[in-house]
Amino acid sequence: MKLWYIRGAWASRKAKAMLPNIQPQAIRRIAVIRHGALGDMVMVRPLLLELRRHFPNAELTLSLVTNYTYSAPTELVDRVHVVYGNDRRDVSRREQIRKMRELGPQDIIFDCADTSRGYWLTLLSSARLKIGYPFRTWQRYVFYDAAVFRSDFVFEADNMLHMLQLFGLKTQHPPVPSFPGVAKEHPRQYVVYFPTASIISKCWPVERFAELIARMAATYPHQDHFVMQGVTPWETIEPIMRQLGGYANVQGIQPGPLAECVSYIKGAALVVANDTGVRNLAIAAGTPTVGILFATFVPYRYWPLYGLHDVVFTPDAQIPSVDAVYASAVVMMKKVSPGA
């Protein structure tokens, strides 16, 4: 392998000297550190698939944290390593370090966490090469042998693939997450709305979501409109459904296991959601999306500029209007269903 960059990346003298002597077929152990919730787990899938393709003889290890294992793409790796997360503050520092060291020696470590815990894990682990995409310049010198620059203006799944492109490895574009699951069979075309998020500050106001769904239900009377409830008690859709009682084609749904949620999303013509893992899930499933962002000031990091995806936000980060989100949804519906 060799380094393929003029600008936009960094490599230590060690990496520059070592890479010409490394062949992908000779790599035996690769670890990927990814600490995050549902959306973060979805984002790392293309990288894992590309690693499998380019390093066919390597054992792939995915390192997670105890409070974020839901929906982890464990089927794409050979081994799972779990360190203690924020849910285990009772664990001693010594025990935390012991757990981190269980990752074991690696040929290459890809740090896709960019968190304090991820830095410590990278620092405490043995590897021939350590690769990252940190936000701060000084971090590359302390923790890594090579790094690509992380940008708020690049979709994060693409940014992670830059770590492979640094070595001249050709990656698929658009990224291919290959998210498993079967689309729900339903007699009519339908739209899914997910009105909540991981934190309340990311949730578009209930009255605006209700108004949007009412307008969509009236505009598309021959489609069904499913309002999906979240998993935590406060993510109830009852306030929205109370305002939509007059629409026969609007229905509240509460999927159980992840597979059922995926089934609804894969079968949808469109998913309208806040900045949430469900929207990332839809992107990975190949379903068109409209995202509503205002609490997150970096919309481009969560917006793939390919496929049928749009993000509604304002330059001053104010809460988007119903008109703006409705207009985006209508444009998308014309693309996915021209005769609707």
Provide the CATH number for the domain around residue 268. 3.40.50.2000
In this structure, the answer to whether residues 258 and 293 fall within a common structural domain is yes
Nearest one of 131, 149, 172, 160 to 47, comparing CA atoms: 160
Give this prediction's pTM. 0.92
Q: Do the Cβ atoms of 146 and 15 come closer than 8 Å?
A: yes
- If asked whether residues 161 and 195 sit together in one domain, one would say no
Phi and psi dihedrals of 6, rounded to 5?
A: -110, -50
Q: Is the dihedral of CA 70, 302, 193, 244 positive or negative?
A: positive
Is residue 306 a part of any domain in this protein? yes
Residues 45 and 93 in one domain: yes
One domain, residues 119 and 25: yes
> What residue type is 136 in one-letter code?
R
Same domain, 139 and 198: no
Q: Are residues 27 and 136 in the same domain?
A: yes
Residue 210 sits in the same domain as residue 154: no
* Nearest-5° Cα angle at 307, 333 to 4: 170
Measured CA to CA, the distance from residue 183 to residue 61 in angstroms comes to 29
Domain count, the chain: 2
Q: Is residue 286 part of a domain?
A: yes
The strand order across the sheet containing 289-292 reads 250-253, 224-228, 190-194, 270-274, 289-292, 309-312
**Residue 268 and residue 157 share a domain:** no
Residue 318 located in a structural domain: yes
Residue 200 belongs to domain spanning: 190-334
Tell the residue number behind the tokens 């999303």, with chain if given: 265
pLDDT by position in tens, the chain (length 340): 899 999 989 999 999 999 988 999 999 999 999 998 888 999 999 999 999 999 999 999 999 999 988 889 999 999 999 999 988 989 999 999 999 999 999 999 999 998 999 999 999 999 999 999 998 899 999 999 999 999 999 999 999 999 999 999 999 999 988 888 999 999 999 999 999 988 889 999 999 999 999 999 999 999 999 999 988 888 899 999 999 988 999 999 998 888 899 999 999 999 999 999 899 999 999 999 999 999 877 899 999 999 899 999 999 999 999 999 999 999 999 999 887 7
